[in-house]
Amino acid sequence: MRGAVAGPAVVAAVLVTALALVPSALAAPPSPSPTPPPTSQDPTSQEPADEAGSLVARIATAKSALDRLTADLGKRQELANRALADDTDARRRADDARKAAEESRRSADAAAVAAERARADVDAWITAWFQQADVLGPLSVLSGSSGPDDVAARAHLRDVVTADQRAALDGAERARIEAANADSRARAARIVADEAAARAAAARVAADAELARVRTDTDAQQAQLRDLTAQRDAAEARLRDLEDADPALAAQRDRAEAFDAAAQARDTARDARVRRAASAGLQARAARSVPGAVDPRAAADDPLADAGISTDGMSDEVRQVLERALSQLGVVYAWGGGDEKGPTLGIRDGGVADQHGDYDKTGFDCSGLMIYAFAAAGKELPHYSGYQTDAGQHVALEDRQPGDLLFWADDDGQGPVHHVALYLGDDQMVEAPESGKTVRITSVRFDDEIVKTVTRVV
Are the CB atoms for 196 and 99 separated by under 8 Å? no
> For residue 58, what are the CA distances in angstroms to 127, 413, 455?
103, 30, 40
Tell me the DSSP string of 339-407. Answer: BTTB-EE----SSHHHHTTGGG-EEB-HHHHHHHHHHTTT----SSHHHHTTSSEEEEGGG--TTPEEE
Measured distance CA(354)–CA(26) in Å, rounded: 14
What 3-state DSSP class applies to 169?
helix
Q: Is 383 a catalytic residue?
A: no
User: Which of 392, 415, 414 has the alpha carbon at shortest distance from 404?
Assistant: 392
Are the C-beta atoms of 304 and 319 separated by less than 8 Å? yes
What secondary structure letter does DSSP report for 315? Answer: -
How far apart CA 432 and CA 422 sit, in angstroms, is: 10
User: Is 47 part of the annotated catalytic residue set?
Assistant: no
For 359, half-sphere exposure in the C-beta direction (CA atoms, 13 angstrom radius) is 9
C-alpha–C-alpha distance, residues 193 and 105, integer Å:
12
Q: Are 108 and 179 in contact (CB under 8 A)?
A: yes
To the query of whether residue 173 is one of the catalytic residues in this protein, the response is no
CA distance 275 to 47: 50
Q: Which residues lie across from 430 on neighbouring strands?
A: 422, 441
The single residue of 243, 323, 431, 449 carrying the catalytic annotation is 431
Number of other residues whose CB lies within 10 A of the CB of residue 252: 21
Q: Distance between CA 199 and CA 181 in Å, rounded? A: 27
Q: For residues 129 and 160, is the Cβ–Cβ distance under 8 A?
A: no
344-345 and 405-409: which strand pairing? unpaired
Catalytic-labelled residue, pool 356, 383, 418, 419: 419
* Residue 336 near residue 368 (C-beta atoms within 8 A): yes
Of 366, 383, 418, 449, which residue is the catalytic one?
Answer: 366
Measure the CA–CA gap between 6 and 271, rounded to whole angstroms. Answer: 37
- Residues noted as catalytic: 366, 419, 431
